[in-house]
Structure 1
Amino acid sequence: MARFVVAGPSEYLAITGWGIDDVKLAKKAWVWVGQQCMKFNISPENYEFNVQAMSSEKLAFNLPAVFAIGPKISHDSEEALLLYAKLIAPHNHTSNQHVKNLLKGVIEGETRVLAASMTMEEIFQGTKSFKDKVFEQVQLDLDKFGLDIYNANVKQLVDEPGHEYFSYLGQKTQQEAANQAKVDVAEERMKGEVGAKEREGLTLQNAAKVDAETKVLSVRQKGIGLKEEAKVKSEVQVYENEREAEIAAAQAGLAMKKAGWEKQSRVAQVEAVKAVAIREAELQMEVERKNALRLTEKLKAEQLSKANVQYETQVQESNAALYDRQKAAEATLYEQVKSAEARKAQADAKFFEQKLAEDARMYAKQKEAEALATVGKAKAEYMASMLQAVGGDYNALRDYLMIDGGMYQEMARINASAVTGMQPKISIWSNGGEAGAGAMQQVAGVYKMLPPLLSTVHEQTGMMPPAWLGSLPKDGSN
């Protein structure tokens, strides 16, 4: 008997049995005795999954997804349909549930593996790329069963119960937007109020500015020359101080690196020496053990032909000799180990002492460099403040520094020491008149000596006296 079977528009026939080696696919065919025919639908079906996964930070989340999956239709080959037919053949009545369970296992496995290699932020920010990677890996596994993903859609990531990462993240975003809106409103209100005040003040400022600029311009032009000169000198001094500080810092860094390299070299040398000593001790112990075993075997071979009593006696003697040698070897090994430990302790103590010395020298150099930098900075700030205090007058600053530093006293002391032991001609200047009696006369005499004294200082040093102290006498005057 035979029957003619026709498949529907979205169906295929899978025929096996007599006259067919494997499986025959057809849309219509005669089914003969000894053959079996099964219809299967090739329309894609929708499968909904709620995959539970965990990110690399051990944060759990749900990934709702909907897949449209069906047999792969190929015009060139029926291999994919054959794979699908073999997949559903043993489960003809429950094929849909069987395929769903298979797809669930594949999708959950690939999703969990991919999520475990990514952080939650990477998954959330790159949802599209994450979805594409999941679909790509799932499709590779579905190719083995002749299935194809026709469409797929991943819904919004959902928190696991007890893990509110996404909800907190949404609250954070909403709060940030609300705060930014409040800031924008306050900023616009501030701009309006400040703008009105600025317009009122600009009118008064511009009128006062014209009057002030007219008066200041003449005075400013006079001081520009002196200010520029002082500015250049101060910048040169600051630059020199900065270069000295950089040199000191570079030297300190070089010293630190040298100390580190020397430390590594010495540690490597100590480790090499200790490794050699340990290896020598191990080899010596192995040699002693081999010698003892060799002697034991030799004694056993020599005593085999003797009587049992003599044999037992020799065995005892051999055991005693072996025991003595073992004890001697253990004592030698113990001495070598203790000697190695003592050498190691000495090396460690020496290394620690050298390290402390190096640390102390490096710390001293570092503090010296910091002190030099601090002194230079303080001097620069002091000079700048003094120059500003005297209104940018460099000559007045120089005279003040000479007086404050005791330059005139030092010059008097040097002149006095130069004429010690000599018979100098000392002149006392006077205008010949009487300035009064007693203390007032002495004060008048000192005041009369100032012009000649200033002339002498000018001749010896070329320096002019400050304006507040007096001026040099003109030629021919006392």
Structure 2
Amino acid sequence: MATFKVADASEYIAITGWGIDDVKLAKKAWVWIGQQCKKFDITPVNYEFEVHAMSSEKLPFVLPAVFTIGPKISDDDSKASLLLYAKLIAPHDKNSSHVRELVKGVIEGETRVLAASMTMEEIFQGTKSFKQAVFENVQLELKQFGLYIYNANVKQLVDVPGQEYFSYLGQKTQQGAMNQAKVDVAEARMKGAVGAKEREGTTLQKAAEVDSQTKVFKVRQEAIGIKEQAKVEAEVKVFENEREAVVAAAKAELATKKAAWDRQIKVAEVEAAKAVAIREAELQMEVERKNALRQTEKLKAEQLSKATVQYDTQVQDSNAALYSRQKAAEAKLYEQQRAAEARKAQADAQFFEQKLAEDAKLYAKQKEAESLAMVGKAKAEYVSSMLQALGGNYNALRDYLMIDGGLYQEMARINAGAVSGMQPKISIWSNGGADGGSASNVSESGASTGVGALQQVAGVYKMLPPLLSTVHEQTGMLPPAWMGALPKDGDAN
């Protein structure tokens, strides 16, 4: 079983027993079987004493005092102070003789020790410091009991019965004050009579002196006024000139900033427009490249390369024109704003234009190399597809490329051009007919029509070996296997 205990606002609960090592303090808690609790009041109590002490001159006196003392609950050390209070003071009634004697013994002991180290005059003249010293020493001793001095009021020092030190000291002070008052009154009357006469003479002297000084001061002030007026007018003029200069400088700076902002806006607009155009061109180039890759079997690689080169050229021209216009505008604006630095600005503009031209050339070379690489890649894909279509027959691919590229026509053209002014090697052959005519001669007899056709075919086949030999001699190329072989040395043409 357990009981829930709650303390009042000015109380605490001290719990001991099962589950608690020492003492547990709380405002509310459950008290279980095997535990004990006790409520204790933390309200401060007033203790009033009359401390009998003696000064260093062996003069006794009585020190009436009132101390307000209780447990400390106002800082981080309050738990420790409350724990000490709960262990040492709370078991007793705070108004009991035990607690009162404890507090009285501490206060009387510290007060007597402190009074024994001071003279009566020091105690009487320094009541405030004496009170503070008593307060600090007593608090240091009460702290070990968990007590705290909330207030300490030391009353006026009084004589011990049979001793009249303070009474005589008061009478002495009173008589001294009365005698001093009489002397002060007589001296004040004398000073009043003498002072009245001195004041009259001084008044007349001061009046004459003030009149003369007033006239001199008036003339001097008029001169100073004229001088100050001229000085102020000059300062005003200088200030106006300075303000006009500041305003002119501010306007010039504002115009410079506006011009710079306008230039940045225009450059940004041009760059944005050109960026859109460049992006459109890049997308168009991508479309063209995809079409070229899809139509490699139709030999569109050359058209793709031409489109790529044309696109790169247009992009470079656009960039060069953009940079030229931008630098021309910057040079013009900078010349208007900084006339004194015109030469330097012009030199910088020329240097930047040369750098842009070099960058444009470098970019053109890079794009040209990229286009050549793309053309080579397209041709490689084209040759690979043709070789695959011909079943991997390299000789057939070579013959097709020679025929498609017009190699034989070019050979004929070159040979015809080389005849002029030269002695070329010319081979003449015939079909070997009986009558020495060409292979195209055909008998007119109707009965021999079939035989004539066979003779024409035979004539064509007889013409091939000399033709292949001539090509081999002039170009060094061998005929394909399906067209036949060259005649061996010693064979008849």
Q: So what's the TM-score if we normalise by structure 2? A: 0.38
Q: Which one has more relative contact order, counting CA pairs under 8 Å at least 6 apart? A: 1
Q: Which has the larger radius of gyration?
A: 2
